[in-house]
Amino acid sequence: MKSNRNFTNALLGGLLLGTVALAGCQKDDADVCGGAPSLSGVTSTTDRTAANTSGNLADWVIVKGDNLCNVSKLSFNDVDVSLADAYVTATEITVQVPRVVPKNVTNTVTVTTAGGTAQTSYTLSIPAMAVTSMANEYAAPGQRGAIVGSNFDLYEVTPAKGKLLWNGTALAITKTTADSVYFVVPANATPGATLKLVDSNGKETAVPGRYKDDRNIVFGYDTGGSVWGGNTYITTGPTPAPINGAFLRVNQAIGAWAWTEFTVNNTIALPAGVVTNPNNYVLRFEVNTLKPFNANVIKFAIDGDAGSGTNTYLWAPATPFNTRGQWSTMTVPLSAFIKKAEDLNRPLHELKFLFHGDGALDADISFDNFRIVPKG
């Protein structure tokens, strides 16, 4: 019993000392933060000495000053920070800038404590929403479609707060990520339809391209054009499944620097504005890989030898390109093609499509609907 009594006394004594120590810490904090807060600047978490006057959404930063204890509110512009994730001392608040677009841009950081409010200048870079294209302009009615770009989440292009307009009629958004907006292609979809995204503020942004755009088809493989080697490479599927009738499938080994030409069309009538202003036009086509495109080079040439570099575009992915059996729309600016516009002063033109580059390629890649169209 004596030993138990001693243990109990020791335990109570330890708890009492801990309570006194805790009270002492709280008193010290109160002494340090006894006045109104003030802010001296903002630094990064990797360099605590250099003050920054600007930053980006989602940055980790340190807000510096005095009397910052018991902070009740911290805002960048008019966007409040979750203080549950902040580390606060009397002179520093370490926090992540919210990835939220402010409604009212003041270019300030504001701190509120029991002693008052303080503010300092700090400018955040607010990225714009970018809409790049439809992931597959030839998705069939009833299939899932996607619009790709960036910062869709920031601007709340969501099923609840955003809109997708299909030829001016609202179409349900099924899912949104930072870089994709998903929907189901309507049953009554017709070629040439245009799409727009509407953010939570009501701002409309046009989606480049048109649904099943069939203007100025260069290689369609149903009619027109020619394929070297006859119809060996022309197929209607079922592997992969077609999206618009016949398509070109290259399913063979392609040696390094072998001149492997599949398609040539010497009866192309370019849109009138291509020669005078190629910046306004693009080459679009659909591609489907069953094996990664990870070596060699695909060359496109207008009116000339694809090996000369004149009016030639080289597609050589820096990393393996792989659609994993799905059709995907690719876009190449005509400005990347046309280096000598004076060579295009003729009524009809020749376009070549071939493989010729370094590295042996085990190819299984399909193409369809090569078209030269306005980029908007």
The string of pLDDT tens digits covering residues 73-120 is 999 999 999 999 999 999 999 999 999 999 999 999 999 999 999 999
Half-sphere CA count of 180, side-chain side, radius 13 A: 9
Are the CB atoms for 231 and 311 separated by under 8 Å? no
Q: What is the pLDDT of residues 237-276, one digit of tens each?
A: 999 999 999 999 999 999 999 988 887 787 888 888 888 8
Q: How far is CA 162 from CA 109, 182, 195, 264, 334, in A?
A: 29, 12, 14, 44, 32
Residue 217: in which H helix or E strand, if any? strand 217-219
- CA–CA dist 107, 74 (Å, integer): 14
Instruction: Output 344 or 6, whichever has higher pLDDT.
Output: 344
81-91 residue pLDDT tens: 999 999 999 99
Antiparallel, parallel or unpaired: β 173-176 and 180-184: antiparallel
Tell me the C-alpha to C-alpha distance, in Å, between residue 84 and each of 67, 74, 80, 87, 124.
Answer: 19, 11, 12, 8, 22
Pairing between strand 54-56 and 123-125? parallel
Q: What is the mean pLDDT of residues 47-54?
A: 93
Q: What distances in angstroms separate CA 19 from CA 12, 29, 30, 120, 177, one per listed residue?
A: 11, 15, 16, 38, 49
Strand partners, 343: none
Nearest to 152 by CA among 121, 127, 186, 123: 127
What phi and psi values does residue 186 have, to the nearest 5 degrees? -65, 150
Q: What gap in Å lies between CA 304 and CA 350, rounded to an integer?
A: 8
What's the per-residue H, E or C state across 294-363? Answer: CCCCEEEEECCCCCCCCCEEEECCCCCECCCCCCEEEEEEHHHCCCCHHHHCCCCEEEEEEECCCCCEEE
Q: What is the pLDDT of residues 136-193, one digit of tens each?
A: 999 999 999 999 999 999 999 999 999 999 999 999 999 999 999 999 999 999 999 9
Better pLDDT: 327 or 3: 327
Give Cα separations from 159 to 30, 133, 171, 182 (angstroms): 48, 19, 10, 9
With 0-12 / 13-18 / 19 or more C-beta atoms within 10 angstroms meaning exposed / middle / buried, residue 272 is exposed
pLDDT at res. 137? 97
pLDDT at 28: 40
Show the domains of the chain with their CATH numbers. 38-125 (2.60.40.10), 130-206 (2.60.40.10), 217-374 (2.60.120.260)
Nearest to 102 by CA among 110, 92, 94: 110
What would the DSSP string read from start to end of 102-156?
-SS---EEEEEETTEEEEEE-EEE-PPPEEEEES-TTPPTTSEEEEEEE-TTTTT
Mean pLDDT of the chain: 87
**Contact yes or no for 270/372 (Cβ under 8 A):** yes
